[in-house]
A and B are shown apart, each in its own frame.
Chain A
Amino acid sequence: MNELDAVLREHWWSAVGAIARRSGDLEVAEDAVQEACAAAIAQWPRDGIPPSPRGWLITTAWHKAVDAMRRESVRAEREAAAARELAGLAGLAGPEGLAGMAGLAGMAWLAGSGSAADGHRYLTGDDELALIFACCHPALDPAARVALTLRSVCGLPVSEIAAAFVVAEPTMAQRLVRAKRKIRRAGIPLTVPGPDAMAGRLDAVLRVVYLVYTQGHRAASGAALIRTDLCDQAITLASQLVAILPAEPEAAGLLALLLLTDARAPARTGDDGTLVLLADQDRTRWKQDQIAAGEELVEAALRSGRPGPYQLQAAIAACHSTAPSADATDWLEIAALYRELVRYEPTPVVLANQAVAIAMAEGPRAGLAILDRLAGEGKLDRWPQLHIARAELLRQLGRGADAAAAYKLALAAGLPRAEEDFISSRLASATVD
């Protein structure tokens, strides 16, 4: 990315947020900022980058937005007139509202606002939050929230988002338009949620940022197992959120979790591109500066006394990342953190991890006790992960027949193909034990 692109990318979020809030229309805002960026690419190399690129972008985009809304307003008024005429013929009422929708009231904002010219105010406020909260609104399809955030907040080109989701570009473009139109037509507010709704809505935003990161891990369409651009994007987003919302420990927890996880990325794949398990990773390849930053962040967040799932996962990641070797891992601490995490996320993966941590800290018998209790409550039935964890511990205790039975339950619960093969081979060897 050259300097010009970097500057435009840096101010994209603020610019789209500012225009979207004033126009009430994300589609108009994004198109306007896109046009303003095109104008910048044409002018800036000749005239130099303006002293306030952000102010320049917002002002230019606003003029484009006003033009677009005026065109839309004229068109809508013509359509409304035609509809009224038609309705008159049919003796019905005609559709209106569309005419007033594009409303030019926002124009007054430009005249009276100094903020458009103030390039120093970067990411301090409501425009940026309003935009990301709208893009991550629970009324939108979850996958669309991630894509829309990458587009409207991060300014990623549609082609790159389509590649990340492994869909055709027109399909992704259509999905994005549908989401933007739902925001306008359904009246999803382009405002910062009030204090009563903040916690729940922030969860939805953090979840999207987390999914942007995991999408980077999952989108292994090429040779690389990790798409670092998406991972970097998620870390940037998380740090911007921490900057805007310094009093939200879960935002800091998420940033810490991403930094700590990402610090291990260089050791996650072997020279041949295959996955290397945590215990077998070359720890000298971990990014120590990121580990230090992540550890500091999560410790500060936990001191606020308002723990949450991201802070706890970050604390667990910190235990792994700061251990000098796999054998020297503080499993007691990890088991304690999982015990807390289960209270927020009693999912099969978390429960299985908790049992494994307890087994590492106190021996397989202690871990097995937890899983046996869950099995007794009938909670294991649908969850292959827990059957697998139970089978592994039974094996370690030399109970081959019981382990085989647990592997069979895991297979019966249904597994993805690759895992099914792996478990089938474990089952075969457990039967031999």
Chain B
Amino acid sequence: MKYLFLLYGADGPLPEPGTSEYAAMVKEWGAATGAMADAGVLVDCAPLQPPSTSTTLRFRDGEVLLTDGPAAEIKEHFGGFTLVECGDLDEALKWAATLPVAASGSIEIRPVVQVARG
């Protein structure tokens, strides 16, 4: 079963590349996702561009409605994702808890509907 981790980080700028904070962040994330890859559960992962680059789409009454920005205005923003393949929710939760953002922000765990080429 595939689970998508939607990573919600605290609002604010990320550390600048070249700083020691940046190096620490890369190391921390590398360790967490590296362990997932080693365990064979990691399918894909990536950070996203900041919420200011986001567009929200709704289709209403035959018309495409676009809104600048993310769907909900909250203190945390959707900042990245991790896609894992796990046996059940308990296994997925175990891995989600190892990501650094679990401590500073929050992670929404969503099961993925299986789509096969027919």
A-side interface residues toward B, CB under 8 Å?
Answer: 80, 83-84, 87-88, 93-97, 137, 139, 185-189, 191, 193, 197
Contacts and interface: CB of A to CB of B under 8 A. Distances in A.
B111 A93 contact: no
Contact of A187 (B89, B116, B117): B89
B116 A139 contact: no
Interface in B47-95: 86-90, 92-93
B12 interface: no
B118 A186 contact: no
A295 B104 CA distance: 45
A271 B15 CA distance: 69
Contact of A96 (B3, B87, B93, B114): B114
**Chain B contact residues (Cβ within 8 angstroms of A): what range?**
10 to 19
B58 to A, nearest CB: 20
Contacts of B86: 187
A97 B116 contact: yes
B111 A186 contact: yes
Contact of B89 (A83, A84, A96, A139): A139
B115 interface: yes
B113 A187 contact: no
A84 B118 contact: yes
A189 B114 contact: no
B115 A96 contact: yes
A296 B86 CA distance: 44
What are the nearest 6 A-B pairs in CB distance?
Answer: A97-B114, A84-B118, A96-B116, A189-B88, A187-B88, A187-B89
B115 A95 contact: yes
A94 B118 contact: yes
B111 A187 contact: yes
B1 interface: yes
Nearest to A85: B118
B111 A185 contact: yes
5 contacts: A87-B118, A96-B115, A139-B89, A186-B111, A187-B111
Contacts of A97: 113-116
B88 A139 contact: no
Contacts of B93: 139
B109 to A, nearest CB: 8
A93 B116 CA distance: 6
Interface in B94-118: 109, 111, 113-118
Given A96-B116, A186-B111, 19 more contacts: A84-B118, A88-B118, A93-B117, A93-B118, A94-B116, A95-B115, A96-B114, A96-B115, A97-B114, A137-B89, A139-B109, A186-B109, A188-B89, A188-B90, A189-B87, A189-B89, A191-B88, A193-B90, A197-B90
A191 B3 CA distance: 19
Contacts of B1: 187
Contact of A189 (B90, B109, B117): B90
Nearest to B86: A187
A431 B109 CA distance: 55
Contacts of B114: 95-97
A189 B89 CA distance: 7
B115 A94 contact: yes
A185 B109 CA distance: 12
A197 B93 CA distance: 12
Contacts of A87: 118
B115 A186 contact: no
B6 to A, nearest CB: 14
A193 B90 CA distance: 9
A260 to B, nearest CB: 34
A137 B111 CA distance: 16
